[in-house]
Amino acid sequence: MSELDETIKEFLVESLENLEQLDRELLALESDPTKIETINTIFRIVHTVKGTCGFFDFRKLEKVSHVGENLLDSLRSQKIAVTEVIITTLLRLSDTLRELLANIEESGCEGDGDYSELVGLLTSLNEQKITLTSEAISINSKSEGSVDESSVVLLKTQVSEEGQDDELQRMFYAAQSEWQNASSLEAPGAAAVPESSQIGAAENQAPSTVADGSESPKVSESKKSELSESSLRVDVNLLDKLMNLVGELVLARNQILQFTKSQNDGEFASTSQRLNLITSELQEGVMRTRMQPISTVWNKLPRIVRDIAHSCGKKVVLEMQGKETELDKTIIEAIKDPLTHVIRNSVDHGIESPEKRLAAGKGAEGVLVMRAFHEGGQVVIEISDDGAGLNTERIRAKALEKGLITSDKAASMGEAEVNRLIFLPGFSTAEQITNISGRGVGMDVVRSNIERIGGAVDVASNPGKGAKFTIKIPLTLAIIPALIVTTNNNRYAIPQVNLLELVRIEGAQLKQSIERIQGSDFYRLRGKILPLVYLDEQLGLSAANSTKSGGGILNLVVVRADNHQFGLVVDAIHDTEEIVVKPLGRLLKGISAFAGATIMGDGQVALILDIVGMARKAQIAKKEAAAKHEESRSNDEGKTSERKKMFVFELGTNKRAAVPLDQVYRLEEFPVQALESAGDHIVVQYRDGILPLVDLRGIYGEPPEISEGSLRAFVHLSGDRFVGFVVERILDIVEQCVNVERPYPKQGLVGSAVIQDKVTDLLDLSAILQLAELSPKHSFDAREAR
């Protein structure tokens, strides 16, 4: 069961559901044999089963349903009349189908049951029409007679097996009499004898023939289908209501948990802990009921792709991966349009015409690949085509022409940045406006739709090879994790999806690291300029540009919105919490800074910040551009003292040393027990290989004897091999201007500099390596390690 794939499961559920209906319809047919609609319904059901199982290569299932379908077809076209025998046989067909489905459900295959007798029975019943409904005898070929004969033989065995079954006896004799008809070609009149009398006559003889039939257990009926009983259809409104209630429960739980903290009652604490667990599980469960596979949207795409490709004279194959990826219903609905638009765009603009493709050495058929998968609590959808890719130069020119960017900016923008311009409102590069895309309301709508549900969209292009759109969306909208911050004594929630990292700047660092460019503040985060946005200022709670260094601490929440990053300055940062998003009323809808509100553990309301709205409000893009401009200008003026990131460590008492951070691959700690030796060298096993260790403390004399504890080391990538450098203590990563001086020359040192107000030696790792290789104690040829 476990290895059954989703499609088969779906097929089973659907078929079992249909079979329930089949039984009902058959019974209805029995009570009113003339009702043609009923026959039609039955035919459709069997036909569906047959058609679907054809995809899965279930031969027996297909065979049985196929002959059943034939019989039903005859019934439908009124070639034969509905009789009790037929109904019974059809009910048996239904049982058999159920048995087969049960086998599939259980073991994934059809089982080794033999259904040829039923097949024979169905076939012979169907062929009755020829003998019983036509005036003249139509059976005159010997071969047909022999088919019937065999079926009767089969029937015989069956009857002797299930001898108690009166219906079957009757069927058997009906079939037998028919066979007699067929075989007695020399007496044509006999065939025209009405069916009922034949059966009646046969029935009379029955007891003697099958009296010895013993009651064999009927396996087929005992096998109850589990699938159809284990799933049922539920009204979406009910699920929505459940979801709301769970939301309330989560809030109540939060409140209880908050209250528990102030209590000292052990039993109460454990009860609320249990409540906490149950609530979380319930929340997850209810959430899952609302999950739908992304294929519910995707299934419509092949048709769309085909139509568009057709109308622009292109050939496109659509491949889909990860169809079963699940998403909340509301999100599924929300991504429907954006997805369609991206697909249209890819087919219309991305993939070239067959001629162009052939000229470019590609196959005439374009390939569009859609991939969906879960990643870090989000769902990622990738839409990649193997078309021409984005024409960066044309986008740049177009953006300039439409005045979306300035020429200064256009020149300074990187390729990826330019490509992202297609998401700007009023942008379209299509040379020809088609009815599919190219009206300038395209990708910007995609972006705003995706962002509305807390997602993000990006594009990557490989000229000549294709483009890839990446859409990231949250799993659900109703309950989201969020970071709680305070500003001016009010709490605000920042959705986790916008969150990148938290930075706390203290004391002396504060003055150094905040730069003011054209009236706005920036922080240099690992070399990148980060615009600062003061939350209180944005919310109108304090005057703009007031001094913010009160207390000497700056709490930064680094967030991402659109394609920008900025640091949101808040008074304090608290925990992350699961919050239930509630919409703001009409009165407050217009405030772009808020995405909604939620109720906190103490019952108070907190507002959820709309980071994207805030970025727009604070004109982050403009500030960023200004900063970059400023930076490039200052860079031109001269690179007197470049800021560098240094990795600072200690090599013994008062022996500070540093290397540039980019020479450090990883920081590791090795227990002394892990130390081994290869030849004369100290090594450790590292990432399926052997890592030579060089004790940097050795450059100031003999390294201390290693006896116990662990070694701290940083791993350095030298060429294509790793070397571990052992240090005494890891101190810090510092970013500052480094003025190298050489107070005394020493091998392995670049020089010394004042870092963090202390003299620090700057090591020359490559020289040290050479040095170490000279000395057998430390040197190591990594090639040996291979």
Partner 1 sequence: MEAAANQITQQPVLAKHYVTFRAGELFFGIDVLQVQEIIRHQSMTPVPLAPAAVKGLINLRGQIIAALDLRSILGAESGISDERTMNVVVRADDETISLLVDSIGDVIQVDERDFENVPETIAPHIRCILHGVFKLKNELMLVLNSGACMERE
- Binding residues (CB under 8 A) for partner 1: these are 248, 251, 490-491, 539-541, 582, 584-588, 591, 593-594, 597-599, 603-607
User: Do residues 218 and 168 make contact, with C-beta atoms less than 8 angstroms apart?
Assistant: no
Q: Which is nearer to partner 1, 571 or 631 (CB)?
A: 571
Euclidean distance between CA atoms 156 and 500, whole angstroms: 76
Least spacing, CB of residue 612 vs partner 1, in Å: 16
Which is it for strands 758-763 and 656-660: parallel, antiparallel or unpaired?
Answer: parallel
Taking alpha carbons only, the member of 84, 288, 243 closest to residue 169 is: 84
Residue 308 makes CB contacts below 8 A (sequence gap 6+) with 316, 343, 344, 347, 348, 436
Name the residue nearer to partner 1 (CB basis): 286 or 657: 286
Neighbouring CB atoms inside 10 A of 178's CB total 26
At residue 344, what is the residue type? R
48 CA to centre of own chain:
31
In the complex, least distance from residue 765 CB atom to partner 1, rounded to whole angstroms: 52
Q: How far is the CB of 557 from partner 1 (least distance, A)?
A: 17
Q: How far is the CB of 553 from partner 1 (least distance, A)?
A: 23
Residues linked to residue 713 through DSSP beta bridges, in sequence order: 668, 726
CB neighbour class for 101 (10 Å; exposed up to 12, middle 13-18, buried from 19): buried
Residue 23 token pair: 């039984």
Tell me the two tokens of residue 187: 């007496």
The burial class, CB within 10 Å (0-12 / 13-18 / 19+), for 547 is: exposed
Strand 605-609 to 490-495 pairing: parallel
Shortest approach of partner 1 to residue 537 CB, angstroms? 10
User: Between 211 and 587, whose beta carbon lies closer to partner 1?
Assistant: 587
Q: Name the burial class of residue 486, with classes exposed (0-12), middle (13-18) and buried (19+) by CB atoms within 10 angstroms of its CB.
A: middle
- Order of strands across the sheet with 490-495? 572-580, 479-487, 490-495, 605-609, 594-599
Please, are residues 158 and 117 in contact by the beta-carbon 8 Å criterion?
yes
Q: Which is nearer to partner 1, 489 or 640 (CB)?
A: 489
In the chain, the N- to C-terminal Cα span, in Å, equals: 45
In angstroms, give the least distance from the CB of 589 to partner 1. 11
By beta-carbon proximity to partner 1, the closer residue of 585 and 701 is 585
CB of 492 to partner 1, least distance (A): 9
Q: Output 40 or 490, the one with its CB closest to partner 1.
A: 490
Q: Which CB, 216 or 604, lies closer to partner 1?
A: 604
Q: 663, 669, 666, 632: which is closest to 645 by C-alpha?
A: 663
What is the C-alpha separation between 659 and 765, in angstroms, rounded? 8
440 or 613: whose CB is closer to partner 1?
Answer: 613
Residues 6+ apart with CB under 8 A from 541: 487, 488
CB of 138 or CB of 486, closer to partner 1: 486
Pairing mode, strands 689-695 and 721-727:
parallel
Q: CB of 491: closest distance to partner 1 in angstroms?
A: 8
Q: By C-beta, is 209 or 490 nearer to partner 1?
A: 490
356 or 582: CB nearest partner 1: 582
Residues contacting 289, CB < 8 A, separation 6+: 234, 239, 242
Rounded to the nearest 10 degrees, how much is the dihedral formed by the CA atoms of 575, 578, 584, 589? 70
Interatomic CA distance for residues 255 and 178, integer angstroms: 79
Beta pairing class for 520-525 and 528-534: antiparallel
CB of 613 to partner 1, least distance (A): 11
Please state, in angstroms and rounded to a whole number, the distance separating the CA atoms of residues 64 and 96.
8
Rounded to the nearest whole angstrom, what is the least distance from the CB of residue 554 to partner 1 in the complex? 21
- Tell the smallest beta-carbon distance from residue 475 to partner 1 (Å): 23
How many CA atoms lie less than 13 Å away from 366 in the CB half-sphere? 35
Between 232 and 543, name the residue whose CB sits nearer to partner 1. Answer: 543
Q: Would you give the DSSP letter of residue 94?
A: H
Q: Give the H or E element holding residue 485.
A: strand 479-487
The residue among 248 and 337 lying less far from partner 1, judged by its C-beta, is: 248
528-534 vs 564-570, strand pairing mode: parallel
What are the b/e assignments for 401-426, b being 16+ CB within 10 Å? eeebbeeebbeebeeeebbbbbbbee
Q: Which is nearer to partner 1, 467 or 614 (CB)?
A: 614
CB of 111 to partner 1, least distance (A): 53
Nearest to 749 by CA among 771, 733, 727: 771
Compute the distance between CA of residue 489 and CA of residue 471 in angstroms, rounded to an integer.
Answer: 36
Cβ at position 488, least distance to partner 1 in Å: 8
CB of 520 to partner 1, least distance (A): 20
AA letter at 555: N
Nearer to partner 1, 486 or 509 (CB): 486
